[in-house]
Amino acid sequence: MTWTVIVLLSALASLCGASAPDCGDLIQPFIPDDQELIFGKWVYVMGAGDPMPYHQAMGSIKSSWIELSPTSTDHTVTLRWGDCYFNRCVYGHDNATVTDTTIAFRKNLSLHNGQILKTCHDCLLWSGSFQNLDVTGRFILHFTRSGTIDPKDVEVFKKQVNCQNFPENFHSYDGKTELCPDDKQRTE
């Protein structure tokens, strides 16, 4: 009788372990069948960076949005952004190059290369690396259409952060700081 209980418990434990996603499942590139799914405006909700000075600097971002738009050129999208930090809005734009599952663009003085990873519905998860002069680092940025995120999706994000060995004390948008105004006619 005891042996049967042990076998039953072992089988149950392996079933429970099989149902939990592993890191391979959690950090898969997202390649949408319909590219329109990634176009439009996204509001930053949480993220982490590495090395630690970059991670700490991310804490100064009070709000941020990005917008991805198609261009007439294959493998190129327009990336615009508005970041609020140190009580001011900083805007920018660049044409990002899409190659297979990698997106490359320049932001300020940095060259960024990254991938969009699978994540929750109406979410965009961007993970990659940057090079700024002689400093290199990594980032993982989570965006949603609304600027809010379901707590269960936060738990998945924590696992994704852990799978990529980012600092566990990720930064998050407080949901209160106003987003920088988005005036497309404004000179950037």
* Each residue's pLDDT tens digit, 12-69: 333 333 345 689 889 998 887 777 888 999 999 999 998 888 888 888 889 999 999 9
- pLDDT value for 21: 66
Write down the domain spans for the chain. Answer: 29-172
DSSP 9-67: HHHHHHHHHHHS--HHHHTPBP--SSGGGT-EEEEEEEEEEESHHHHHHHTTEEEEEEE
- Based on the number of CB atoms within 10 Å of its own CB, is 161 exposed (0-12), middle (13-18) or buried (19 or more)? buried
Instruction: Assign 161 a pLDDT band (cuts: 50, 70, 90).
Output: very high
Q: How far is 163 from 119, CA to CA, in rounded Å?
A: 14
Q: Given this model, what pLDDT does residue 143 score?
A: 95
pLDDT for 93 beyond 60: yes
Task: Tell whether pTM > 0.85.
Answer: no
At the topology level, CATH places domain 29-172 in Lipocalin (2.40.128)
Judge contact between 99 and 120, C-beta under 8 A.
no
pLDDT over threshold 80, residue 155? yes
Distance, in Å, from the CA atom of 160 to the CA atom of 141, rounded to the nearest integer, reads 11
Q: Over the stretch 78-90, which tens digit does the pLDDT of each residue have? A: 999 999 988 899 9
- What pLDDT digit, counting tens, does each position of 120-151 carry? 999 999 999 988 888 889 999 999 999 999 99
pLDDT for the residue numbered 158: 93
17/110: higher pLDDT:
110
105 has a pLDDT exceeding 50: yes
> Which pLDDT score, from 0 to 100, does residue 135 have?
84
